[in-house]
Structure 1
Amino acid sequence: MDTELARTFLTVVTAGNFISAADRLHVSQSTVSTRIHTLEDQLGCTLFVRNKAGTTLTSAGRQFQRHAATLVRTIEQARHDIGIPEGFSGTLIIGGRIGLWEEFLVQWLQLMKEARPEISIRAESGLEPELMQGLVEGRMDIGVMYTPQSRPGLQVEQLFEEKLILVSTDPIGKPEPQPGYVYVDWGPEFYARHNACFPNFGGPSLTANVGWLGLQHVLENGGSGYFPKRIVTPHLKTKRLTLIAGAPEFSMPAYVVYPLECDRDLFGRAIEIMHRIANSKAKLVVGKRAAKPAARKGR
């Protein structure tokens, strides 16, 4: 079987419809349709139910997904094995949102290298669609993201709760979007809650799909925006940014996604380190909260 057909099938599964799959593959919708029809002819069954809402897998499609992922993963694994750097016994490919690489995954990277020095690690950044596509196709081993999609063959585990807070270069900024506000696309859930909290918001002058980009713009040019508290805390301490009092805060869970069928020893160690870092940070926050009443009591 042509692996291109299997890749196209997996792309449709991830994208949810033929049009989005064509955009991701940089081909026409008719090309995607032709590939899927060819694949269905070869297998002798229907893989997708097509309707106005998009596509859903048939029973046969769900069964084939596992085989398609295995097929693509085998090819990718062969490429990885051939390309293993000298002196290492294996490779681990991890992808994550840029914001999650800041502090969290960078810390994980060092601890993982210390725990498994014989493993070569390849670190990548991307948005959720690219990360999920890499996981479904087997080109990526582990993905860390905010809004994962539930897909057969993949395990999703929550790591921690990210807190998004409104910060500004204006010390007396108002608790709502003002001129110079940068809207960061943190995903559909944030979009819905943002609209509910600010129903009269007409739209930003700048939208960024990467938090780091939006934050750098605010720091360099002034303005405001919602960013993870753990990332902007250093800027709050140096007074480059101010936390806007009275503004709503948003919680956004961070997840780790990995294949159910994997090297339990290697993947288990990698995931365990992530949970350990997440738990240590959560305990630190709780400890600081508990210390505040005690400090006031002693005054």
Structure 2
Amino acid sequence: MDITLLRTFFEVANTGSFVAASERLFVTQSAVSLRVQRLEDDLGRPLFVRSKAGAELTPAGRAFERYAIGILRTWEEARQQVAIPEGFHRSLSVAAQYSLWPRLGFRWVDGMRAAMPDLSIRTDVGMPERLTRFLIEGVAQAALMFTPQLRPGLTAEAVTEDELVLVAGWEGPTLESLEGRYIFCDWGPEFVQAHALTLPHLTNPGLTFSLGTLTAQYVMSRGMAAYLPARFIKTHLDAGQLHIVPDAPRFAYPVWVVWRDDLDAEVAAMARKALSEAALSIDEDQSDVMAQMARMGGTTGALMEDLVPHIDE
């Protein structure tokens, strides 16, 4: 069976839209429709009910989805096993959000290489939705992210807790000085809710970014302000490129790792240990930022965990 057809089916099922699926796959909507039609012709059953609202799986489509995921997983496993370089005996594919690679992801990879030299490691990057898709399809066996999307066959574990801190690209910033210079950075529904409760006057500033830590480049080059993870901003604070807004609240922002349940037990145990050690090594960065805030005498305000339910509650 054509793997491309299965990936297309999975994207339509996941998004509930032929248009959204075409955007994710970087093909035209007509190409998506043709692929789904080919799959339906092969199976002899309609897989989706089309409407103006989108596309919904038929009973046959829901039944086929389980097999499609299984085929994709088997294909990815076979592809990765065949691709193991000479001299290596096992493989592991890990992924993470962009902002988690520099300080946590790279150290995690270093720890795994040291602990298991015969392990071939493949890495990838993406936003939570893309990473979850990688996990489901078997493209990745573990992924670091801020907002895990739980699915059958996946397990999420808390790794460490970062904090979102309001920083600006000019010296001596205060909440009162943010007029016309604030970027609302979308860090997920929990942050949006907590932000609205504590900073309602900044909720709709007219400029919203969903770019994660890439927002920092815009903040520094344009003299703007935004909430960014404490661990990420440390080097920019040290270099004088960013400055903490001392009277602004900060928000807890936990880091999670999501594992595939079928990961080899020995590899999983090693990877967990290496990740735990990597997480401990980066705690100092956040502590330094918090200490700097304390020296500035600013108020820390309410933490997000005090304002909204935790994910595992």
Please give the TM-score of this superposition, normalised by the length of structure 1: 0.79
Q: How many Å apart are 1:43 and its aligned residue? A: 4.1
Residue type matched to 1:251 in 2? A
**In structure 1, C-alpha distance between the alignment counterparts of 2:172 and 2:245, rounded to whole Å:** 8
Q: How many Å apart are 1:89 and its aligned residue? A: 1.1
Where does residue 181 of structure 1 map in the other structure? Answer: 182
Where does residue 157 of structure 1 map in the other structure? Answer: 157
> Does the 8 A contact of 2:165 with 2:249 survive in 1?
yes
> Does the 8 A contact of 1:69 with 1:137 survive in 2?
yes
Where does residue 85 of structure 2 map in the other structure? Answer: 85
Q: How many Å apart are 1:122 and its aligned residue? A: 1.7
Where does residue 233 of structure 2 map in the other structure? Answer: 232
Where does residue 295 of structure 1 map in the other structure? Answer: none
Q: How many Å apart are 1:47 and its aligned residue? A: 4.6
- Change in 2 beyond 3 A, CA 1:249/1:61: farther
Residue type matched to 1:271 in 2? R
**In structure 2, C-alpha distance between the alignment counterparts of 1:47 and 1:144, rounded to whole Å:** 33
Are residues 1:207 and 2:209 paired? yes
Secondary structure at 1:84 match in 2: coil
Where does residue 247 of structure 2 map in the other structure? Answer: 246
**In structure 2, C-alpha distance between the alignment counterparts of 1:204 and 1:154, rounded to whole Å:** 37
Unaligned runs of 5+ in 1: 290-299
Residue type matched to 1:227 in 2? L
Superposed, 1:110-189 pairs within 5 Å as 110-175=110-175, 177-189=178-190
**In structure 1, C-alpha distance between the alignment counterparts of 2:113 and 2:191, rounded to whole Å:** 34
1:186-214 per-position Cα deviation (integer Å, ceiling 9, x unaligned): 33443444455444445355836140x32
> Does the 8 A contact of 2:92 with 2:141 survive in 1?
yes
Where does residue 270 of structure 1 map in the other structure? Answer: 271
Where does residue 19 of structure 1 map in the other structure? Answer: 19
> Does the 8 A contact of 1:93 with 1:141 survive in 2?
yes
Secondary structure at 2:175 match in 1: coil
**In structure 2, C-alpha distance between the alignment counterparts of 1:64 and 1:110, rounded to whole Å:** 40
> Does the 8 A contact of 2:47 with 2:58 survive in 1?
yes
> Does the 8 A contact of 2:103 with 2:282 survive in 1?
no
Residue type matched to 2:243 in 1? T
Residue type matched to 2:135 in 1? L
Superposed, 1:20-59 pairs within 5 Å as 20-40=20-40, 42-43=42-43, 47-48=47-48, 54-55=54-55
- Change in 2 beyond 3 A, CA 1:242/1:27: closer
User: What count of residue pairs does the alignment treat as equivalent?
Assistant: 287
> Does the 8 A contact of 2:182 with 2:205 survive in 1?
no
Structure 1 stretch displaced more, 17-26 or 191-200: 191-200
Structure 1 stretch displaced more, 25-34 or 49-58: 49-58
1:14-59 per-position Cα deviation (integer Å, ceiling 9, x unaligned): 3343221121122333443443354345445565566666555566
**In structure 2, C-alpha distance between the alignment counterparts of 1:109 and 1:194, rounded to whole Å:** 34
1:41-82 per-position Cα deviation (integer Å, ceiling 9, x unaligned): 544556556666655556654553342222123223333233
**In structure 2, C-alpha distance between the alignment counterparts of 1:282 and 1:164, rounded to whole Å:** 14
Unaligned runs of 5+ in 2: 291-313
Percent of aligned pairs with the same amino acid: 37
**In structure 2, C-alpha distance between the alignment counterparts of 1:189 and 1:15, rounded to whole Å:** 22
Where does residue 293 of structure 1 map in the other structure? Answer: none
Please give the TM-score of this superposition, normalised by the length of structure 2: 0.76
Q: How many Å apart are 1:275 and its aligned residue? A: 3.8
**In structure 2, C-alpha distance between the alignment counterparts of 1:284 and 1:99, rounded to whole Å:** 14
**In structure 2, C-alpha distance between the alignment counterparts of 1:205 and 1:72, rounded to whole Å:** 39
1:151-181 per-position Cα deviation (integer Å, ceiling 9, x unaligned): 3332223323321010123333122644443
Secondary structure at 1:163 match in 2: strand
Secondary structure at 1:152 match in 2: coil
Residue type matched to 1:153 in 2? G
Secondary structure at 2:149 match in 1: coil
Q: How many Å apart are 1:216 and its aligned residue? A: 3.2
